[in-house]
Structure 1
Amino acid sequence: MLRNREIRIFLLTMCAISTVAVVISALISPVATMLVFITSALLIGCSLIFTRWRYREIEKLSSYLRRISGGDYSLDVRDNYEGELSILKNDIYKVTIMLSEQSSILQQDKIQLTNAISDISHQLKTPLTSMMVMADLLNNSQLPVAKRTEFTHNIRIQLERIEWLVSSLLKLSKIDAGTAQFKKEPIMLEKLIQKALEPVLIPMDIKEQAISITGEATVSFLGDLNWTREALLNIFKNCVEHTGEGGVITVSFSENALYTEIIIADNGKGIRKEDLPYIFKRFYKGKNASEDSVGIGLAMAHSIITSQNGVIDVKSGKDQGTEFHIKFYKRVI
């Protein structure tokens, strides 16, 4: 404590004042001298005791901070007394809670990253293994032309699948990192739906599926045309995949003072009740999913919609079809 320069100056100042007071009181009377001396000694002693107590409290706080820096967030130094040290303790506790929450979030992010890498490697392992096998077979000079053509076609399909998967993961990582730039432009729903349907028209034609679109031409919302088209396209792909031949996909849209709503429904085999809570989870594949399904399309649709002040819900049941309800709110909720 006495190594502190401020404490030494404080003590020297008090001693100097006490000395002057004792000298002056000596000119008055011996009794006054003794009274001033005792009073000065008590004041200096009380000051030293109080200063020592404060030093001990500061040492405790320093020890507490060292334990925090070591990752121990379980300590609680709060008290219910008034004073600057109590205020400091409470502020340190608040910072401790904040650091604890941030540490928990970082740990969850690490777990999610590890799981994502594991899922990605699993998704890439199957097509890569298949291509390696077919590439080895193509090295056989005696391989029939028909088989060579078949293997080459299959390799191209697997490469396209990998390209789509990598592209989708890059888009999702952009959204997760907050680096995706979503525009705020007026989008006409009729135009948006037509653009989103274009890539699935041929598969629908092959399966002889019908499409029904209802809604006023003036319905619109503020958002990003390309990103929202990507979201709806993934939903349409899901509907086409799970709807049988001759099935019907219906799209309706409307708006009111609060939100713009899009309802996409099919009369396919539906989604099992136990799968419904997880269909927007990345890499989740329901029991009715096809073998080629990756489980990333609906997760991307969910991320894109929610990033534009929207929500998406689904209603479905086994052999009862599926309805996707999308709402883009006109004000932040």
Structure 2
Amino acid sequence: MKKFFPVYVRVPLLFAIFFFAIEWIVRGDSDKPAFIEHPVVLILLGLFLFALIAVEMVASATSKIMDRLMTPEERAQKEKEASLPFAETPWVKRLMQKLTSTKTIAQEGDIMMDHDYDGIKELDNELPPWWVGLFYVTVIFAVIYLLRFHVFDGDSQVAEFEKEMIAAKEQVEEYKKTAPDMLTADQAVFSDDPAVLSAGKALFDTNCAVCHKPDGGGAIGPNLTDDHWILGGGMKNVFNTISEGGRPGKGMVPWKTNFKPSEIEKIASYVISLNGTVPAEAKAAEGDIIWSKSELSADKATEETPATEEAPATTDAEVAPEAAN
């Protein structure tokens, strides 16, 4: 094999195989290479490379010593074998003979059959061992498959696919519940946290103040501080208006291409926080939908209020006096 894979090919190839094997075993789910995440891997790689070079040096020295000890006839035989094509090398021939169970021409007399058709004779060759082995594997597989899916009612490929799709959909829906950049208008929640409102204000001042003024009093766009809303108040409606844009032809563009859903949620929270403020030179109210942020507090209070306990049933003894009256 040395003539097909010289030392300058063998050493890098074996080292690369070892390197990728170590990466696959040690790295796991880490984003960093194993030799950076675990410096001890560098020592292991260095030792392996040292061992490779040492083995090659010992093998080369041993080969030279053996060459000097050979007789001229043995040296000639070795050179003859070295000049043979790959398929003609002795070890390849031995391997193919084991895989195919072929007979030499001298051995054909032992497997010659009595059939003779116009001088054409037939050999009783054995089936190739690789073919027989493969046949046995298919038989074993067929028995296991039969028991697994037709006796013990295992899931078919279609059933497995449907289960995996259901599980995948559940994982996607679960991810959507907490993924900040996959929020929808129905999932958006108002926040009065100063950090959220500050982030929303920064985005509003940069992108929305030109039409609504920095204080929300309204310029080209409507006043955002009163209780009149053109497309509806509340977190869902404000989020949807920012994301999808306002009325066609009125200049309010869909901002979903510029902002992530989590950013739109912050802007919507800031816009709602402007409700009820009194800006200077506020624009006249527009819109027929009446809504104020006080409704958020009312809704929250309703959710937090425990259910009223049912009044205890009145007994016959308690109603008896009234019946007597």
TM score, norm. by length of structure 2:
0.19
Q: Which has the larger radius of gyration?
A: 2
More strand by share: 1
TM score, norm. by length of structure 1:
0.19
